[in-house]
Amino acid sequence: MRFSDYVLTLALLIPKGRVTTYGRIAKAAGGGAMASQSVTAILSKASDSGVRNIPFHRIVYANGTVWLNAKHKKERMRLYKKEGIECDASGKIKNFEDIVFEFT
């Protein structure tokens, strides 16, 4: 299996109500220190190829900050609320340490 296949498989394993980081996905997929920078590109390519159930909102930065932009902010915040994930005004997950998902 290729690194990109592992990244997609791992992203799909993140349970509802939990989040993980780009780095945790990259490490679990067998990547090195810089591999986390490729996670978004890999998942975006999969999405463009027709994979529709990628939980992008469950993948956050190492400090628990959520990636938000004008295009996706409203939908992501709706998904966080639906899954019981609370964010502060700056886009940081309030109980990040409690809900971060570790791959074993």
Residues 52-100: tens digit of each pLDDT? 999 999 999 999 999 888 888 899 999 999 999 999 988 999 999 999 9
pLDDT for residue 101 is more than 90 = yes
Number of domains in the chain: 1
Q: Is residue 49 part of a domain?
A: yes
33-48 b/e (C-beta count within 10 Å ≥ 16 → b):
eebbebbeebbeebee
28 band by pLDDT with thresholds 50, 70 and 90: very high
Nearest to 21 by CA among 56, 53, 45: 56
Question: How confident is the model at residue 34, as a pLDDT?
Answer: 92
Helix (H) or strand (E) holding 21: strand 20-21
Question: How confident is the model at residue 72, as a pLDDT?
Answer: 85
Tell whether pTM > 0.85. yes
Q: Is residue 104 part of a domain?
A: no
Distance, CA of 41 to CA of 33 (rounded, Å): 16
Residue 19's domain comprises 3-99
Q: Is residue 47 part of a domain?
A: yes
